[in-house]
Amino acid sequence: MSAPAPGNAEPAGAAKLRERVAGLPDDPGVYLFRDARGSVLYVGKAQNLRARVRSYLVPGGDGRIRMHLLVPRIADVEVVATSSVKEALLLENELIKRHKPRFNVRLRDDKNYLALRIDPREELARFTETRKFARDGALHFGPYTSSQALHQTLSSLQRLFPLRTCSDGVFKNYRRRGRPCLEHSLGRCAAPCCDRIEPEAYAELVRGAVLFLKGRGEDVVAGLEERMREAAEAERFEEAAKLRDRIRAIESTIERQAMVSTQFADRDVLGLAREANQVDVQVLHVRQGKLMGGNAYSFRDVRIDDAAVLESFVSQFYSGDRDIPSEILLPLEIEAAEELASVWRERAGRSVRVARPRRGEGRRLLEMAQRNAALSLAERTRREQTRDELLDTLRSALRLDDRPEKIECYDVSHLQGALTVASRVVFVNATPHKDGYRRYKLREAAAGDDYGAMREVLRRRLTRLDSDPAPDLLLLDGGKGQLGAVRGVLRDLEIEGISLASLAKQRDPESPSSRVLRHAGPKRERVFLDGVKDPLLLAPSDPALLLLQRVRDESHRFAIAYHRELRRKTQFRSILDELPGIGPVKRRSLLRHLGSLERIRAAGEDQLAAVPKLTRADAALIHRFFRGDAETPRKEADARSGS
């Protein structure tokens, strides 16, 4: 059956909707289409609410391809009038985040990119990482699309401009000690904490680093060359040699930077690629003419046209404290370009231009972004095909009816029965889904009872299926015993339709003759299936086994990490509980102020006395306690308490 022509399909109850639309205001605002169950299908904004909503109900009225998929589902409409289209844009963005409508494009992860921040007005300024491009008078450089890219830049900067990177607290500690840290020995810090550099020379390093990040490396080189000549003429040859080495390092770095624009403007360049209902949007970040990097954003089952996708994307992408460049280049015209530019100008505090270049350098950059979007979409399609093949392999190996698209794995960890914990990891389409990870403190199972622990954690998990849908496959770290324990929980809770499997190492042979060969090769994994007597022995290179091992190992890692964390906290609390005369309030203050047991143990009396709520006498007692004289502080504490 062919799809209805765009705009021709009418929603159920169209007559009732027309009556509702007739009473809508002709103000700007936001409209929400709901289905028969009341769920929000689509959120949009309009200059004229009545005219825009009516256009959906007139054959061919909206005119946007793919809107015919939305219209038959509309059962009701809700509107919110605003004072301007600009205000409607902001409200639309918030409502999309809140309701997550099926027919809107929604950014799943709208965390801001990282940036380097420095405030040259500060004494002994340093670079710090930030996700906020706040208008606080400081300078921000970025965005960096990954922490790795930022740290690589910062590492290069430290070699060229050895500025401090330590926190103020660490800086003060080294100043008190009078000797610099390892960074100075490696030539990555000028050690201002120990006065190894004059404040004026340090400020010159800051200016050079800022110019370099602004793309003016040639200006930095020119200044250094002048200083090198002056040092050579004054016969300060060691200083001149150091300046020469810095010049060479900076010139080498400049040569490696990719210039993509002759204009030293800050630009974001967007590309969009589509295959059926799959869309990828590519964002390239050009700063001072240099390509800083880019990211692709993927959207599945997109039911709106490309212009609507792009408008919704940029509206969400540049919300919050995200860096807004002076130019945003788009591959398509979008309806709200002028209003969005106005919002961004207010947020950035400067001019922001939205354009669709038809020729020249801007067009070339757009074509680059379009190519990258197409490559990203093609790579995603290839990965998804590979993923589907992998899940089909696993389905066949485990004799399942359907693909195990959602796998949950559970592991129990303890130390000789103490501090028993469990972990849950979730893989969706063979990829970790970290929002679904959970950690459990086990309260009911007896110490060392792994089967009881597994029963407890699965009972807690499977009684929450209303809010946390069941997996296709439950994978357990263990053998037949764990499998039987969980099968009993499923039976008790009368739950069906969840496949079970467990993964265990092959046992060592028991016969004396075979023990000689015990370490001849790696132990093979055994896969136990529910209702199957003998375990599967899959080949070590079998993709299905490799996926199961990956899921199991991640669950094991997560459980052990939680167990270690609890052990550290328990040990930490037990030592702090022994501090004489120091109650819970003062212990919490110590933790907040110094952060770790090692820092408390290493702190001097003056540093301890600076902790809020601690007296000088408290500081002296704690200091002596950690220096090994534990008995005297206890006697003094007893004397102070009158006992």
Domain boundaries, the chain: 14-99, 267-379, 406-508+520-566, 578-641
**Average pLDDT of span 2-28:** 68
> Could you give the CA distance from residue 174 to residue 193 in angstroms, rounded to a whole number?
6
The sign one gets for the Cα dihedral 334, 338, 342, 345 is positive
- Domain 578-641 belongs to what topology? DNA polymerase; domain 1 (1.10.150)
Give the per-residue pLDDT at 61: 53
**Average pLDDT of span 410-435:** 84
pLDDT in tens, 145-167: 678 778 878 887 888 888 998 98
Is 639's pLDDT higher than 70?
no
Give the per-residue pLDDT at 9: 57
**Average pLDDT of span 272-280:** 93
> Could you give the CA distance from residue 560 to residue 450 in angstroms, rounded to a whole number?
15
Give the per-residue pLDDT at 2: 36
Superfamily of structural domain 267-379: UvrC, RNAse H endonuclease domain (3.30.420.340)
Is 577's pLDDT higher than 80?
no
CATH class of 14-99: alpha beta
pLDDT in tens, 534-560: 899 999 999 999 999 999 999 999 988
- pTM for the model: 0.64
Give the per-residue pLDDT at 492: 92
Q: Which residue has the higher pLDDT, 568 or 170?
A: 170
Q: Are 7 and 60 in contact (CB under 8 A)?
A: yes
How many C-beta atoms surround the C-beta of residue 550 within 10 A? 14
Give the per-residue pLDDT at 13: 59
pLDDT in tens, 505-530: 766 555 444 443 444 456 788 999 98
Q: Which residue has the higher pLDDT, 399 or 64?
A: 399
The confidence band for 258, taking pLDDT boundaries of 50, 70 and 90, is low
> Could you give the CA distance from residue 415 to residue 404 in angstroms, rounded to a whole number?
33
> Could you give the CA distance from residue 165 to residue 157 in angstroms, rounded to a whole number?
11
Give the per-residue pLDDT at 58: 75
Is residue 320 exposed (0-12), middle (13-18) or buried (19+ Cβ within 10 Å)? Answer: middle
pLDDT in tens, 287-324: 877 787 788 899 988 888 899 999 999 998 888 767 78
Is 252's pLDDT higher than 60?
yes
Tokens 């007896």 locate to 446
| Residue type at 26 in one-letter notation | D
> Could you give the CA distance from residue 526 to residue 1 in angstroms, rounded to a whole number?
49
Q: Judging by DSSP bridges, how do beta strands 353-355 and 327-329 pair with one another?
A: parallel
pLDDT in tens, 181-223: 888 888 889 999 999 999 998 998 898 888 887 767 777 788 8
> Could you give the CA distance from residue 595 to residue 608 in angstroms, rounded to a whole number?
12
**Average pLDDT of span 48-52:** 91
Is 10's pLDDT higher than 90?
no
pLDDT in tens, 373-408: 999 999 999 988 999 999 999 999 999 999 999 999
Q: 267-379 and 406-508+520-566: same fold? A: yes
Q: What is the mean pLDDT of the chain?
A: 83
The sign one gets for the Cα dihedral 83, 86, 88, 93 is negative
Give the per-residue pLDDT at 257: 56
**Is the domain defined by 406-508+520-566 classed in CATH 3.30.420.340?**
yes
Peptide bond preceding 143: is omega within 30 degrees of 0, i.e. cis?
yes
> Could you give the CA distance from residue 47 to residue 309 in angstroms, rounded to a whole number?
19
Give the per-residue pLDDT at 597: 74
> Could you give the CA distance from residue 310 to residue 270 in angstroms, rounded to a whole number?
9
pLDDT in tens, 480-494: 888 988 999 999 999
Share of the chain above pLDDT 70, in %: 84
How many C-beta atoms surround the C-beta of residue 99 within 10 A? 17
